[in-house]
A and B are shown apart, each in its own frame.
Chain A
Amino acid sequence: MSFRTLLLGAVSTLALAGLAHAETLTIATVNNGDMVRMQKLAEDFTKKNPDIQLEWVTLEENVLRQRVTTDIATKGGQYDVMTIGTYEVPIWAKQGWLLPLDGLASDYDADDLLPAIKDAVSYEGKLYASPFYGESAMVMYRKDLAEKAGVTIPEKPTWDQIAEAAKKMTDKSTETYGICLRGKAGWGENMALLTAMANSFGARWFDEKWTPQFDQPEWKKALTFYTDLMKEAGPAGASSNGFNENLALFQTGKCGIWIDATVAASFVTNPKESKVADQVGFALFPTGGVENHGNWLWAWNLGIPAGTQKAEAAQKFVSWATDKAYTELVASKEGWANVPPGTRKSLYANPEYEKAAPFAKITLQAMNAADTSKPTVKPVPYTGGQFVAVPEFQGIGTAVGQQFSAALAGSIKVDQALQSAQQLTTREMTKGGYIK
């Protein structure tokens, strides 16, 4: 046998082995604690499915959003599983960019998903993404500071009660601020909070004919309340504070009250990271005169782009990462407090979880209270909660967010900010063909 034949044989054997071997799934995810944990635990999946290999692309949320949107819109086919938010799921499903998840494992148990979350990731009755973790928003406050100030925060507070408590807790001489709220411009930053807050004041983004409503008294009331409260009891430079900045402030003991995503609860009660871990109390998102707790609802979900060649393997992975067994896997390796929250009823029925996570009860109440099909008391033509589920919202939300951030910084007046918001939203919605 000549050397060349030998070489040829060797090469073909290798090639065949390669063929018989693995399918590689490319998974795009965001960088947060739960996703990083999933990446660490993925060995469990590859052990059970030796013919599937995993490649991870972890990116910062906004970079990821831009990256996967380009890929899915052009059918680039770079990813087999994508991490997407509840904002994208209905829009992308409608475009036909996502595969319906009809091949999930038999023990997936879709009925166990929290109803609000299940609705948010379904389109025309079909599941288009599988929730990995979910969140609503709630009040987190310092029990010790509240006691010192002589205030109590009820389980269902109103904005007036929050304002009163925040003012009393503020002690600027020790850099203790009564309230920390998002101020950094962005549709997923200050506008998430302000839209939820506006909902709780009875405001709405659009009326039934898609006419923007920033010229209505409810918005003025909400925005004035927000800027006044922050001026009196908020930290300096609040207009550049987002989730992370407020998290850092709260964890280092500088905030009395922080109203934000429920996922923050697991950070601020973690004694390794937070100085105030044993002093945190929880309450529902405040109401402002109408029976509405803001309707904040968000989940990071795993979806499968329509352009993938590996749909079957991708569904296997999605089942593994989001079923009940995964929850148990995390609990056994990292403890119940680290289980991804906010997606399944069974988790909240689990006494061990309730023991490990003091925020479980309020989180569940907040999530159940959120109704994305009816975000505010007045009738609206859109769905969503802390956002409006139309493709134009990213752009409009951020532009309006810049106006409101400027109002918070004091560089423009509340009336001016609302007027600009009204104008730019009207212009964009007319351009988008919503306003005839």
Chain B
Amino acid sequence: MARAVKTRTKLTFTIIGWTIGFLIFFPILWTFLTSFKSEGTAIATPPQFLFFDWTLENYHEVQSRSDYGKHVMNSIVISVGSTLLGLLLAIPAAWAMAFSPTKRTKDILMWMLSTKMMPAVGVLVPLYLIFRDWGLLDTRIGLVAVLTMINLPIIVWMLYTYFKEIPGEILEAARMDGASLAKEIVYVLTPMAVPGIASTMLLNIILAWNEAFWTLNLTAANAAPLTAFIASYSSPEGLFWAKLSAASTMAIAPILVMGWFSQKQLVRGLTFGAVK
């Protein structure tokens, strides 16, 4: 039976929860508000919260200067593409590690994760040269490949933890019924793992969407996603805070909406394996 909780305790926790939530959300809210200010109001002290002349001027300016649609398309293709390709590679790998582990499996998992520990800039020049020679610079295919490689360890790890929760006996039963390996993965394992795969997918789309090192360094004009779009409004010499805020709002809007609709899956994705 659940413990009885006093109303006052509940209220306190609710207030604390909302306050923390608001604090975390505040920078995004502030960016959103700033995007409707003029550059002058944006730097005003004391800062103006809601009572200022709201203007859409920044959005007009951003629209007229950059091709937002092209950047969004690139972001979608790159993040979704790399996630799907990643899943295609990671599902068999995670299957093997979860259901027929060897004594090296743990080491391999650690080794995969260790590739994430290297600073990306360390391999910038070699990768840049490979991309140059293969004609992959400033192409979506190139970025899909790189982001797949970068996120693969995380995808494998997430799927592995999820697959571990599925009883191996069910797969054995399928095998007894004469299912081939491919059929076992496609018809038995995958449907059972759909929630886990979905949350992995969502999380990786978000990671790929926000990736701002490779997407800036390997693109120029054609394959540049929204990260490059934002970077074009930041400036160390000159105040463009309102325009930068407008560009940021436009860049995070699609992924924010997607995150909103798939909250439940995401929370599951982030917490699974936490309670066993």
Minimum C-beta distance from B117 to chain A (A): 22
Cβ contact within 8 Å between A70 and B125 = yes
Cβ contact within 8 Å between B43 and A56 = no
Cβ contact within 8 Å between A61 and B236 = yes
**Interface segment, one of B100-108, B161-169, B177-185, B226-234:** B226-234
**Residue among B39, B128, B231, B237 making CB contact with A59, cutoff 8 Å:** B231
Q: Which residues of A contact B39 (CB under 8 A)?
A: 273
Instruction: Tell me the complex Cα distance, A272–B39, Å.
Output: 9
B192 contacts A by Cβ under 8 Å: no
Closest to A78 in B: B220
Minimum C-beta distance from A255 to chain B (A): 12
Closest to B45 in A: A252
Minimum C-beta distance from A425 to chain B (A): 23
**Residue among A61, A76, A272 making CB contact with B40, cutoff 8 Å:** A272
Minimum C-beta distance from B123 to chain A (A): 12
Main secondary structure of the interface of A (DSSP, over half): mixed
Q: Which residues of A contact B40 (CB under 8 A)?
A: 272-273
Closest to B132 in A: A76
B23 contacts A by Cβ under 8 Å: no
**Chain B stretch 83-135: residues in CB contact (< 8 A) with chain A:** 124-125, 128-129, 131-132
Instruction: Tell me the complex Cα distance, A248–B234, Å.
Output: 15
Minimum C-beta distance from A38 to chain B (A): 12
Q: Mark B229-262, 1 if CB is under 8 A from A, else 0.
A: 0011111111110000000000000000000000
Minimum C-beta distance from A284 to chain B (A): 21
Main secondary structure of the interface of B (DSSP, over half): loop
Q: Which residues of B contact A77 (CB under 8 A)?
A: 132
Counted as pairs of residues, one from A and one from B, with CB atoms less than 8 Å apart, the total is 97
**Interface segment, one of A25-33, A115-123, A212-220:** A25-33
Instruction: Tell me the complex Cα distance, A351–B66, Å.
Output: 36
Closest to A64 in B: B231
Instruction: Tell me the complex Cα distance, A292–B8, Å.
Output: 70
Q: Which residues of A contact B222 (CB under 8 A)?
A: 55
B189 contacts A by Cβ under 8 Å: no
Cβ contact within 8 Å between A55 and B128 = no
B48 contacts A by Cβ under 8 Å: no
Across the A-B interface, the 9 shortest Cβ-Cβ residue pairs = A58-B232, A55-B221, A60-B234, A248-B43, A31-B235, A78-B220, A32-B238, A76-B132, A61-B236
14 contacts between A and B (CB under 8 A): A33-B238, A39-B65, A55-B220, A57-B228, A59-B216, A60-B231, A60-B236, A61-B236, A70-B128, A74-B129, A76-B131, A248-B43, A248-B239, A267-B239
